[in-house]
């Protein structure tokens, strides 16, 4: 246990010890009164107030001593039970709560009539202890039964909805230097590891929080790396290499998760397992898979798409703006030259054919989004720097350019 858990355990021990001391001390006082009454009736003696006081104190001290002996054992059992409940999925926690409420309601209905009939005819203390014992048994069996049958009934759906409604947004603390910050966990899928760009993004520090990798994703990645197909094998090995890189980064917390709930295990495929796992952990998914993104968004799970990030980082170019570009090759139409921006966006320059190899300034006339990507069209305005690169002939994309313009 860490320091915070140790302090919590100690406070829990003090609380249980205090409660037991008062409870068993009170029980000792009640037993002392019963005992003195029995002594006086059995032996026809009368105890003085001082003797009565000593008997009461003796039985109370015996009760407190039993409390001290039982508190450590009881605290350990209750703490273990509390931790096991804390590790349950939210739906199971709600099922336990419903089971407790159902058990209390059943015990009230079962015990109401007997308690009314026995009231005044039976000693109060044993009657109260018997009621507590019967209530505990009924609550236990109610919780146990509800947990067993919740998948067969509609309880699973109810508990999931209640868990989603009642559970607050959970963030894990991350200590960075002397500052404490909070970030949502991120779940990685197989495609994003194979993609390779995630390592560069994480290295910049833009992604915070733990990076969770379910073991079934890692297993799928290893299967791809062991494939007989050379291309698939290379992709799988690149994914494993990216994972190793992430684990070696100082600013990344990577955790491989092996423990899953029955709902995750019963999912038909990896994507559904990933979605259910992220939903239980209240985590976001990092992916470049459009299908997985749509499925997750329908479930209300945040998705960080690397493809959308790449698109958002492309510079926004509007008609009328001026750019500088190196004209690398001629275009299809007479006088056209073609260049590329740093992000690979194609730029078609009118009157640019005669300036191939030079860095020129252009004025944007239009921006076209085509199936092959975004293309910028502009007019030549002047030379910025000569002979930046050796002129090349031919343009592999001339047909695409002209077809796009004709559209």
Q: What is the mean pLDDT of residues 249-276?
A: 88
Residue corresponding to tokens 């749509």: 294
Statement to judge: residues 238 and 134 lie in one domain: no
Decide if 46 is inside a domain: yes
Statement to judge: residues 214 and 176 lie in one domain: yes
Q: What is the mean pLDDT of residues 100-107?
A: 82
Q: What is the pLDDT of residue 251?
A: 82
Decide if 237 is inside a domain: yes
Q: Residue 55 contacts by C-beta under 8 Å, 6 or more apart in sequence?
A: 32, 35, 36, 47
| Torsion angle in degrees (nearest 10) through CA of 163, 165, 168, 172 | 50
Statement to judge: residues 328 and 234 lie in one domain: no
Mean pLDDT over all residues of the chain? 76
Which range has the top average pLDDT, 63-67, 112-116, 120-124?
Answer: 63-67
Statement to judge: residues 119 and 219 lie in one domain: no
Check: CB of residue 240 under 8 Å from CB of residue 224.
Answer: no
Tally of structural domains, the chain = 3
Q: Residue 367 contacts by C-beta under 8 Å, 6 or more apart in sequence?
A: 317, 318, 319, 374, 375, 376, 377
| Torsion angle in degrees (nearest 10) through CA of 388, 392, 394, 396 | -70
- Which domain-ending residue is among 311, 333, 365? 311
Decide if 67 is inside a domain: yes
Decide if 164 is inside a domain: no
| Contacts of 169-173 spanning 24+ positions with Cβ under 8 A | 169/282, 170/282, 171/209, 172/209, 172/210
Decide if 332 is inside a domain: yes
Statement to judge: residues 290 and 321 lie in one domain: no
User: Which range marks the domain in which residue 295 is found?
Assistant: 172-311
Statement to judge: residues 154 and 7 lie in one domain: yes
Statement to judge: residues 113 and 225 lie in one domain: no
- Which domain-ending residue is among 311, 337, 356? 311
Statement to judge: residues 296 and 387 lie in one domain: no
Residue corresponding to tokens 């002047």: 382
Which is it for the CA torsion 164, 167, 172, 173, positive or negative? positive
Decide if 165 is inside a domain: no
CATH number of the CATH domain containing 194: 3.40.50.1010
Decide if 42 is inside a domain: yes
Statement to judge: residues 17 and 141 lie in one domain: yes
> Could you report the per-residue pLDDT of 292-348, keeping only the tens digit for each?
889 888 888 999 988 888 777 777 788 888 889 999 999 888 889 999 887 778 899
Nearest-angstrom CA–CA distance, 96 and 111: 22
Statement to judge: residues 212 and 149 lie in one domain: no
CA 292 to chain centre: 17
CATH number of the CATH domain containing 401: 2.40.50.140
Q: What band does 378 get if pLDDT is binned at 50, 70 and 90?
A: very high
Decide if 167 is inside a domain: no
Q: What is the pLDDT of residue 48?
A: 73
Statement to judge: residues 263 and 280 lie in one domain: yes
Statement to judge: residues 290 and 339 lie in one domain: no
Q: What band does 404 get if pLDDT is binned at 50, 70 and 90?
A: very low
- Which domain-ending residue is among 286, 311, 336? 311
> Could you report the per-residue pLDDT of 178-233, keeping only the tens digit for each?
444 446 889 999 999 998 888 888 888 888 888 999 999 999 999 999 988 888 88
Instruction: Specify the DSSP element, H or E, that contains 383.
Output: strand 373-385
């Amino acid at each position: 246990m860490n320091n915070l858990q140790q302090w919590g355990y100690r406070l829990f021990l003090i609380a249980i010890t205090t409660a037991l001391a008062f409870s068993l001390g009170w029980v000792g006082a009640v037993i002392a009164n019963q005992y003195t009454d029995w002594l006086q009736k059995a032996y026809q003696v009368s105890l003085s107030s001082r003797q009565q006081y000593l008997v009461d104190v003796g039985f109370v001290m015996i009760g407190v001593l039993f409390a001290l002996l039982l508190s450590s054992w009881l605290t350990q059992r209750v703490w273990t039970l509390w931790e096991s409940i804390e590790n349950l999925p939210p739906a199971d926690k709600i099922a336990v709560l419903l089971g407790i409420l159902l058990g209390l309601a059943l015990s009230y209905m079962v015990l109401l009539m007997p308690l009314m009939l026995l009231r005044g005819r039976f000693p109060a203390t044993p009657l109260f202890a018997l009621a507590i014992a019967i209530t505990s048994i009924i609550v236990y069996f109610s919780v146990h039964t509800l947990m067993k049958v919740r998948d067969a009934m509609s309880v699973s759906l109810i508990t999931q909805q209640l868990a989603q409604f009642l559970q607050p947004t959970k963030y894990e603390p991350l200590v960075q230097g002397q500052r404490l910050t909070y970030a949502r966990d991120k779940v990685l899928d197989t495609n994003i590891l194979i993609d390779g760009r995630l390592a560069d993004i994480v290295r910049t520090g833009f992604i915070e929080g733990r990076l969770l990798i379910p073991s079934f994703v890692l297993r799928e990645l290893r299967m791809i790396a062991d494939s007989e197909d050379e291309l698939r094998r290379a992709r799988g090995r690149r994914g494993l290499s990216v994972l190793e890189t992430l684990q070696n980064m100082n600013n990344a917390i990577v955790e491989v998760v092996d423990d899953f709930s029955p709902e995750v295990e019963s999912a038909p495929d990896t994507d559904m397992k990933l979605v259910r796992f992220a939903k239980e952990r209240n985590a976001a998914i990092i992916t470049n898979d459009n299908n997985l993104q749509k499925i997750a968004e329908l479930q209300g799970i945040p998705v960080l798409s690397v493809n959308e990030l790449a698109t958002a980082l492309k510079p926004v170019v509007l008609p009328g703006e001026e750019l500088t570009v190196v004209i690398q090759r001629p275009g299809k139409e007479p006088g056209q030259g073609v260049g590329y921006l740093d992000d690979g966006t194609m730029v078609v320059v009118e009157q640019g054919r005669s300036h191939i190899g030079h860095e020129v300034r252009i004025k944007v006339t239009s921006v076209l989004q085509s199936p092959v990507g975004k293309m910028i069209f502009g007019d030549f305005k002047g030379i910025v720097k000569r002979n930046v690169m050796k002129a090349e002939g031919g343009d592999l994309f001339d047909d695409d350019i002209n077809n796009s313009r004709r559209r």
